[in-house]
Amino acid sequence: MTNESFSIHGENLLKKVKELIEEGNVRRITITDKHGKDVATFPLTVGVVGALLLPMLAAIGAIAALITECTITVEREEEPVKEETK
């Protein structure tokens, strides 16, 4: 697993989370406030789509309305290393 962090403003939070979900290799998203306190953590399992994402996206929208600056930490699955064939 690898971790990646993004510092963004609250109004861009929902847009960024949707982009990350569309990438497909995200396992967990953690949102922290500007003081480093965890606000929310959302595990993303393989195959979560459509209506199952609506409650999570609604919660993220509410968080975005309340905070001005935050950091998103993304836990990703590592891409398998492809071996060269001869």
pTM: 0.77
Q: What is the pLDDT of residue 74?
A: 93
Give 7-21 pLDDT, tens digit per residue: 999 889 999 988 888
Q: What is the pLDDT of residue 43?
A: 85
Q: What is the pLDDT of residue 22?
A: 83
Give 22-78 pLDDT, tens digit per residue: 887 888 999 999 899 999 998 887 556 666 678 888 898 998 888 889 999 999 887
Phi, psi of 77 (to 5 degrees): -75, 140
For residue 38, the SS3 value is: strand
Helix residue spans in the chain (DSSP H): 13-23, 54-66
